[in-house]
Structure 1
């Protein structure tokens, strides 16, 4: 499923019941691993006794369940002890039963392969200091926090805005993200659309770290200082692939006057209801974030009047290997033109769905319009 920034997942009420209690057991088991080790070894011995007593009714598969449970909740050093005990039990019981229990050798090979796989997974989790399913829960929480950063604040009745974000190949994380905020007096709306180097899950962690930092800068810096501060932040991080592009817009919701600046990002498009035409806001061009120290980020000033609209987008919307940027922009504006007469609601998602890059790149669109 593709990632959509306009949606922030809510946890169902059932999470407060059995599911939540089960998840709370994970830290407890990590503090008392030997209890689980002893328990699994005893269960393995019990399984071996059951198979030897009723070989025709108790399957070898009972050991597979113990292998998986141990792999989910034990560290590698404890896991090896459990697996040695389980495999030894299987070998002894299999040798004692002989031909009375079929498929013994094949089952032992499959069980051994499963054990090796679970040890590899446990080792990968141990490197980040998590056990059980807590690592996956952390990733889900990180994804939800990244989505929440892009939620747009409530706007006055005569203003509307939408955000749509699709990740490459439907990954849960994207290199494109949006941060938005409204000033304390409610008069100014600020939105930044950022495209981190890379795409999909490869850029997801960098997006998460950067979105938190830029979300904190938004509203705390002046309009002209936001991109400067973002550039300095990336320079301090010194990531090997630490550059990013961004577009930042600040709109006065009372007068409609806005200023917009770019850091190596594609130019925004503005629809003017008076002329009935789209135009590209090509001023305010600055270099990529995280590349040049003391870079200059000029701003372009304009006005959104009633019926006007503003479209911010990432390069995945207009770029394709076999097409020029001009072709991509023309295609985007052609699709946007069909929304002029019926209103701009749904335009952001439409542009993401029909982006030039298809599903092979991250795509992000922000639309803002004034009624």
Structure 2
């Protein structure tokens, strides 16, 4: 049963005189507008504070304040604070500032030094001011060159270290089963950080096949470092991901696609079955491998009709030499930096390397480092050597 509400005029309650009046808050639309305004204000306040430009401005202000303190120390305590202290402020700026911020700091430092020189005309030294001016110019030029490379701050050098470590990691030989060993050494020209020679190895867990590629990129040292890094990553992805006889053609196609003015490279590809000792060697414009036979004591070059260097011919043919590494044998791969020297025949260099390998490896008196040291190849070229042993 539904009861109808009584009809009639609706009563409204009026506030009594002297009683507190209820004040309604803002509506939903007003509250939303207030929240939006607060968020916008928060972005305005926090955003620039965390932006790279704001950090550069704050760092520049801190260094400028240090320069002012150094100038005050030079003016008030000349016996304790030398004028060269401003060079330390400039040095800190070189490590942490960008080009525009470093220029600003340099102008501040030069202004402070000039002011000090003019205040003390008796001790005015144009040579001292010229030295500080030269330091500012060199600092700005260094920061500009680093910024042109996309590097910033002192920690940017860690990126180059990481790149070098990755290049070395690509050539790290994976763990091998008992009875096998690989010894390798790569030395760059003039002991630079990057080398045009690099090694890439692949051995999938559970697979009996070990593949090693030794590559010599055109150029040397830092000139070939960028190309070596790029090719080592690409070749590392190709190696083991395709049949062994398809690696060098795929590497050649990749190198041609780069369209480098000096983009050729020589390479030698070795594939070994670790269960039987059977191996396959292919070369692309590279010196031949050397086989040391433990049973007969014979040391010989692995004669393979080598194909052209990578990145030169569109559809080259790479011949394959097949053999067997018997227990006690050693297979040696190397780059031309160990056998080439100005004014001498390459064959003589290979004979010298074979003689040193026979002396060191056959007598088990050393490894790859001892062979490279015994050859005494010049430091003007990159050098690499790999020894594959079967015990």
Cα shift at 1:357: 3.8
Could you say what secondary structure the match of 1:193 adopts?
A: strand
Gaps in structure 2 of 5+ consecutive residues: 1-49
- Alpha-carbon distance in 1 for matches of 2:252, 2:362: 39
**Which of residues 369, 378, 388 is equivalent to 1:358?**
378
Please say if 1:114 is aligned against 2:135.
yes
Deviation beyond 6 Å, 4+ runs, structure 1? 27-30
Tell me if structure 1 keeps the 8 A contact 2:292–2:300. yes
Tell me if structure 2 keeps the 8 A contact 1:316–1:355. no
Q: TM-score, normalised by structure 1?
A: 0.88
- 49-58 or 106-115: bigger deviation: 49-58
Cα 1:69–1:313, aligned 2, differ >3 Å: closer, same or farther? same
**Which of residues 270, 273, 276 is equivalent to 1:252?**
273
Q: How does 1:1-371 map to 2 (within 5 A)?
A: 32-99=55-122, 102=123, 104-343=125-364, 346-355=366-375, 357-371=377-391
C-alpha offsets along residues 23-76 of structure 1, whole Å, 9 cap, x if unaligned?
xxxx98766100011112222222222222222322101111111111222122
Cα 1:328–1:28, aligned 2, differ >3 Å: closer, same or farther? farther
Tell me if structure 1 keeps the 8 A contact 2:338–2:349. yes
Cα shift at 1:159: 0.8
- Alpha-carbon distance in 2 for matches of 1:215, 1:273: 32
Cα shift at 1:346: 3.2
Could you say what secondary structure the match of 2:183 adopts?
A: strand
Could you say what secondary structure the match of 1:195 adopts?
A: strand
Tell me if structure 1 keeps the 8 A contact 2:215–2:267. yes
Tell me if structure 2 keeps the 8 A contact 1:30–1:74. no
C-alpha offsets along residues 115-162 of structure 1, whole Å, 9 cap, x if unaligned?
000011010011122222233211111111111111111111211110
User: Which structure has the greater CA radius of gyration?
Assistant: 2
Cα 1:236–1:144, aligned 2, differ >3 Å: closer, same or farther? same
Cα 1:217–1:346, aligned 2, differ >3 Å: closer, same or farther? farther
- Alpha-carbon distance in 1 for matches of 2:103, 2:353: 57
Cα 1:34–1:61, aligned 2, differ >3 Å: closer, same or farther? same
Cα shift at 1:204: 0.9
Tell me if structure 1 keeps the 8 A contact 2:98–2:153. no
Cα shift at 1:356: 6.0
- Alpha-carbon distance in 2 for matches of 1:352, 1:103: 59
- 208-217 or 334-343: bigger deviation: 334-343
C-alpha offsets along residues 57-116 of structure 1, whole Å, 9 cap, x if unaligned?
2210111111111122212212222111111111112211233xx463222111100100
Could you say what secondary structure the match of 2:360 adopts?
A: coil
Cα shift at 1:355: 3.7
- Alpha-carbon distance in 1 for matches of 2:128, 2:101: 23
- Alpha-carbon distance in 2 for matches of 1:221, 1:260: 16
Cα 1:103–1:169, aligned 2, differ >3 Å: closer, same or farther? farther
Higher relative contact order (CA closer than 8 Å, sequence separation 6+)? 1
Q: TM-score, normalised by structure 2?
A: 0.84
Tell me if structure 1 keeps the 8 A contact 2:360–2:371. no
Tell me if structure 2 keeps the 8 A contact 1:176–1:193. yes
Cα shift at 1:309: 0.9
